[in-house]
A and B are shown apart, each in its own frame.
Chain A
């Protein structure tokens, strides 16, 4: 099998950037989100369409990022 429809895009959620990577393998679309800097994975999911996989993962990523505390420097 070869991955198809590989796609990367970046979205902004409040003060945070989210990098989404998705692709299709077989009948499944996989998606992952990382926090751009440093690029750690923060959410993953799969669905029957690329848009749905991205939607699921973006929601999880936003929930997780919302818990990040920022300090005064």
Chain B
């Protein structure tokens, strides 16, 4: 069995238990359901709310560099701190936080393999106590935009067929049958997908217990759709968070060099006037670039 390209970015629950009181380690819970933290969390963990603390709440954007510095500083995290992220739904939004932290150059950030789900299922220690850590200075690096795709890059990639597009939404969103995940607000005017995209739902990268599939299984999953890292890859979903999970898999577990997360995603593309849209399932055979 082959190894992940960067196994150091994943930690096990046992590792976390051994570092619960390590002052060099900060645990951060980032959930889809921002109330989950209050229903029990890992002792010592703080919480970041994705919809308030991991985005610009005025204009649609990720955190600014100054905003990221403020978040880290206020969380008692220095540039030397080992940050371990975990969350519900197979670390869905933990990966969103990971992606932003890498954009701003945090050196040592990791994900708890299995996230909140496995921690609960294994009946490990929880608390409802909220810790407080004194602020520390934090200076972020300049934005690494090689990790992020903006609309013009995606449009160019579609026209020139210069990158593989991976749509990680559900098949029903991909085909255009529904405009948003079931039960969630619709955020686009049109349904479908970006022309040429392959549909590989994000959660296929995970086992039932919330841990990531093995490197071999991941290679087989994406390789079946001709996504093998030999060409640039752009991942997208609805607002860029599910695709940050897939971006994490491509970049850190499979070691793809040229992979970006298009966080504008379908909420941007599906609202553009005149943008090309494909509906229905993708062709059976993936197109080679």
Contacts and interface: CB of A to CB of B under 8 A. Distances in A.
Nearest to A25: B40
A3 B119 CA distance: 9
A3 B121 CA distance: 8
Contact of B183 (A1, A32, A40, A46): A40
Nearest to B170: A37
A23 B124 CA distance: 12
Contacts of B88: 32, 41
- Greatest chain B CB density within 10 A among A4, A32, A34, A38 is at A38
Contacts of B33: 32, 41, 44
Given A1-B126, A3-B126, A38 B242 contact: yes
Contact of B127 (A1, A6, A73): A1
B90 interface: yes
Contacts of B128: 1, 25
Contact of A71 (B169, B177, B181): B177
A25 B201 contact: no
Contact of B90 (A37, A39, A65, A68): A39
Contacts of A32: 33, 36, 88
Interface residues on chain B, size class: 35 or more
A50 to B, nearest CB: 14
Given A3-B40, A38-B203, A41-B88, A71 B127 contact: no
Contacts of A38: 169-170, 173, 181, 201-203, 237, 242
A23 B127 CA distance: 14
A2 interface: yes
A37 B201 contact: yes
Contacts of A65: 182-183
- Greatest chain A CB density within 10 A among B89, B128, B182, B186 is at B182
A-B complex: 3 closest residue pairs judged by Cβ atoms: A42-B183, A41-B33, A37-B170
Interface of B: 32-33, 35-36, 39-40, 88-90, 92, 117, 120-121, 123-128, 169-173, 175-184, 186, 191, 201-203, 237, 242, 279-280
21 contacts: A1-B127, A1-B128, A2-B125, A2-B126, A6-B120, A16-B182, A25-B126, A28-B39, A35-B182, A38-B170, A38-B237, A40-B183, A41-B32, A41-B88, A41-B89, A44-B33, A65-B182, A70-B177, A71-B176, A71-B178, A73-B279
Given A16-B183, A41-B33, A69-B178, 7 more contacts: A2-B124, A2-B126, A35-B182, A39-B89, A41-B32, A61-B183, A68-B183
